Amino acid sequence: MRRSARPFSGLESLAARAPFASPLAEELACDVLERFLRYVRVDTQAAYRVPERPSTQKQLDLSRLLVDELREIGLEDAELNDGHSVFATLAGTTDTPVVGLIAHVDTTPDVSGADVSPTVHEAWGGEPIVLSGDPRQVLDPAVLPALAARVGHDIVTSDGTTLLGADDKAGIAEIMAAVAYLARTPERSRATIRVAFTVDEEVGRGAEDFDLESFGADIAYTLDGSDLGELEVETFSAASVRVTIRGLSVHPGTAKDKLVNAVKLASELVLSVPPDRLSPETTDEREGYVHPHRISGSTEEAVVDFIARDHDDALLAEHVELLERLARDVEVREPRAKVEVEVRHSYRNMRPFIEENPRVVEAAVEAIRRAGVEPRLAITRGGTDGAVLSAQGLPTPNLFTGGQEYHSVREWASVQDMGAAAATIVELAGVWEESTR
């Protein structure tokens, strides 16, 4: 996007357009935006608790489109592989190291991703943004400090009836624009790039079937973060805990002294969780939590699904023990009930694996700086594909994308910040190439 030749149609705002972080960010922004607006229109919503993989076939619609576009850019080995990931290579001007760039095609099952209708609020003037499809949905800078800091930016939103899909189509668009730029500037020194676009990240299965050997990267980055300049080097460690309560169903007319109502026992279990601490709604920063997120069943049998999260593995184990204890207490209070607890560990904090390879952080910090942005190391209160891959031996911290308010109909993204993220990727290819000299 160039200030002189404004690429957008529609009403011109009176506000001055905010500057880009660097000339490269400005040069890349137009391509990033064009790709982003194309990708968000493809419905790629994932689904919970579906045994098949991917959890929804429609995710692959975008994967196939990306294979075609990668080949057009000149990455001729682009393919959708048996692990349902798109892999492709951009050969470097030196052979090693190989830098992986990873983003996920799916969007969260929690909010509709069908018929996304993106709007670009050009050179946004700072007034509350009322979303056109649902006027109750207002992006108010008075309560969104990240938005308030972006007066003059080109802000992309949905129409308020769906999510936008910046998580993680901003990351995809940035990788695609950066790789396209690198492919058409062969005079620029670069490390070899391996691209991966995964499925089902939002249901915690993004790195399942990920063939690390055929990917062949020495280090990698997910483009799945948020705020400008952030590099996430710590994730939660995560477990899911399913409590199944079996009661005894009897016709209510003849139930006296016989009925054991699993619905009531499940409610008691949920109410026994600490109300004022250890929950997502009462914690922040490094505090972990236990979180009942789904309850289902009948008088005969009820199931309560919890997730447990902490940055500290020992504390996570304590949270899981707490849930196991509360579940056993149900049986103590009602011995005729039968309670089963199933614990699954999903991913671990990536920090110890990243610390073994400090260069992976140093290179990203340098690349962010070269893109004209102040780098910030951050922790995330969530997980990424990179957490799983890091534990498997591929150190993979998470770079910012410029998207905000994820998993919401109020999701938004700044074009200026997306340009900066794409520029960071281009710089990263250069920084890693220099490391071989």
Catalytic residues, by residue number, are 106, 201
Q: How far is the CB of 355 from Zn ion (least distance, A)?
A: 23
Q: How far is the CB of 224 from Zn ion (least distance, A)?
A: 4
Instruction: Return the number of the residue (167 or 433) whose C-beta is nearest Zn ion.
Output: 167
Instruction: Return the number of the residue (154 or 232) whose C-beta is nearest Zn ion.
Output: 232
| Residues forming a β-bridge with 309 | 238, 289
**Strand, coil or helix: 226:** coil
Q: How far is the CB of 174 from Zn ion (least distance, A)?
A: 13
Q: Does residue 230 bind Zn ion (CB under 5 A)?
A: no
**What crossing angle do the helices spanning 59-73 and 166-184 adopt, rounded to 10°?**
10
C-alpha dihedral (353, 100, 197, 424), degrees to nearest 10? 100
Q: How far is the CB of 379 from Zn ion (least distance, A)?
A: 16
Note every long-range contact of 336-340, with CB atoms under 8 Å and residues 24 or more positions apart, other chains counting.
336/247, 336/248, 336/260, 337/245, 337/246, 337/247, 337/260, 337/262, 337/265, 338/245, 338/246, 339/243, 339/244, 339/245, 339/246, 340/243, 340/244, 340/246
Contacts of 64 (CB under 8 A, 6+ apart): 80
Instruction: Return the number of the residue (27 or 224) whose C-beta is nearest Zn ion.
Output: 224
Contact assessment for residue 149 and residue 44, using Cβ atoms and an 8 Å cutoff: no
Nearest to 334 by CA among 256, 270, 247: 247
Instruction: Return the number of the residue (152 or 397) whose C-beta is nearest Zn ion.
Output: 397
CA atoms within 13 A on the CB side of 325: 10
Instruction: Return the number of the residue (69 or 106) whose C-beta is nearest Zn ion.
Output: 106
Q: How far is the CB of 401 from Zn ion (least distance, A)?
A: 9
Only one of the segments 123-131, 161-169, 272-280, 298-306 lies at the binding site for Zn ion (rule: CB under 5 A); that segment is 161-169
Residue 410 to residue 136: CA distance in whole angstroms? 11
Number of residues counted as binding Zn ion (CB under 5 A): 3
Only one of the segments 69-77, 203-211, 222-230, 298-306 lies at the binding site for Zn ion (rule: CB under 5 A); that segment is 222-230
The token duo for 169 is 């189509």
Only one of the segments 154-162, 204-212, 224-232, 245-253 lies at the binding site for Zn ion (rule: CB under 5 A); that segment is 224-232
Contact assessment for residue 296 and residue 303, using Cβ atoms and an 8 Å cutoff: yes
Q: Given candidates 26, 167, 200, 405, which one binds Zn ion under the rule CB under 5 A?
A: 167
**What crossing angle do the helices spanning 166-184 and 415-434 adopt, rounded to 10°?**
50
Instruction: Return the number of the residue (306 or 406) whose C-beta is nearest Zn ion.
Output: 406
Instruction: Return the number of the residue (353 or 400) whose C-beta is nearest Zn ion.
Output: 400
Please state, in angstroms and as integers, the Cα–Cα distance from residue 35 to each residue in 31, 159, 425, following that order.
Answer: 6, 18, 16
Q: How far is the CB of 221 from Zn ion (least distance, A)?
A: 13
**Strand, coil or helix: 100:** strand
Only one of the segments 12-20, 153-161, 163-171, 262-270 lies at the binding site for Zn ion (rule: CB under 5 A); that segment is 163-171
Only one of the segments 36-44, 115-123, 168-176, 304-312 lies at the binding site for Zn ion (rule: CB under 5 A); that segment is 168-176
One-letter amino acid for residue 201 of the chain: E
Concatenating the DSSP letter of every residue in 323-362 gives: HHHHHHHHHHH-TTSEEEEEEEEEE--SHHHHHT-THHHH
The DSSP 8-state label assigned to residue 201 in this structure reads: G
Q: Given candidates 122, 154, 168, 232, which one binds Zn ion under the rule CB under 5 A?
A: 168
Alpha helices (runs of H) in 121-188, residue ranges in sequence order: 145-148, 166-184
Residue 153 to residue 317: CA distance in whole angstroms? 44
Q: How far is the CB of 429 from Zn ion (least distance, A)?
A: 22
Only one of the segments 143-151, 183-191, 218-226, 386-394 lies at the binding site for Zn ion (rule: CB under 5 A); that segment is 218-226
Q: How far is the CB of 288 from Zn ion (least distance, A)?
A: 20
Instruction: Return the number of the residue (97 or 403) whose C-beta is nearest Zn ion.
Output: 403
Q: Does residue 224 bind Zn ion (CB under 5 A)?
A: yes
Give contact residues for Zn ion (rule: CB under 5 A): 167-168, 224
